[in-house]
Structure 1
């Protein structure tokens, strides 16, 4: 059985004040309704590419504020709690637990906006590492940003083929 490490809760303010904030903005060749449908589907981001290896919603539909899910990222796994849910437009969550003791706080924000005949997808990742990992995270921040960015790029490829 995996060991889980608790993280501190986060809110919308943390998305702008975290020590590490990675922001991605992409145009997807799909209408906002289809991007939103994918984000809240059973597969969600796991359907977009290999960045997310598994995703399980752990609360019943309809989803909203207070919904939860567990996400696998290769050998890493996190449990998430949604604190913002704007139907059809976006959501935000923070990680409540992770199977590796890397983070003090971790949150993400997703925004789906009309953009011509497609969608403007805006994604923000906010991270506060545990104190002992502050320096390694600072050094590795460009690598981490590129790694997370792959998911946003995978979304573009996913919608271009649908």
Structure 2
């Protein structure tokens, strides 16, 4: 059963009790990376193994995302700056314990490619916060694998 989470704003990414931040560099340019994140939402399962389905909602104002293991999210897009930033707040989830959550993807040029800085900001009871802190290595591995897969996909397609 989905639960409504606390509705946070973009500044939550800096103030959340738990912030998992990761960085990767891709050969693909920022515009192509942004399109994959923000515009070609349904392609996400092809490059992010943890995602089984992703669908835009509300004419692009939100998304629904399903993860392996049955976790589901209903999200609201909080920032959509082509080639630079994509952020969304999780409004509803079936994941236990989470009280508030926001994810922020910041893209910046890195030579001919893109530096991707991803932050997952979370709040919840102490047990939830501990679980996310303990999950950091696995989340980081999942992010790095997704970025390698996305980069291979984009460079193989020769996407500008």
**When the two structures are superposed, what TM-score results if normalisation uses the length of structure 2?**
0.85
148-157 or 15-24: bigger deviation: 148-157
Q: CA deviation at 1:31?
A: 1.1
Q: Tell me, yes or no, if the aligned pair for 2:29 and 2:112 is still in contact at 8 Å.
A: yes
Q: Which runs of 4+ in 1 moved over 4 A?
A: none
In structure 1, distance between residues paired with 2:86 and 2:128: 29
In structure 2, distance between residues paired with 1:69 and 1:56: 5
- Hey, which of these two has a bigger chunk of helix by percent? 2
- SS of 1:10's partner is coil
Q: List alignment gaps of at least 5 residues for structure 1.
A: none
- 1:79 corresponds to: 74
Q: What is the root-mean-square deviation of aligned Cα atoms in Å?
A: 1.7
- 2:109 corresponds to: 114
Matched residues, number: 151
In structure 2, distance between residues paired with 1:9 and 1:44: 27
How do 1:1-162 residues align onto structure 2 when only pairs under 5 Å count?
Answer: 3-40=1-38, 41-60=40-59, 63=60, 67-74=61-68, 75-129=70-124, 131=125, 134-135=126-127, 137-138=129-130, 140-153=131-144, 154-161=146-153, 162=156
In structure 2, distance between residues paired with 1:57 and 1:151: 22
- SS of 1:103's partner is coil
**When the two structures are superposed, what TM-score results if normalisation uses the length of structure 1?**
0.84
Q: Tell me, yes or no, if the aligned pair for 1:27 and 1:119 is still in contact at 8 Å.
A: yes
Q: Tell me, yes or no, if the aligned pair for 2:29 and 2:113 is still in contact at 8 Å.
A: yes
- SS of 1:35's partner is helix
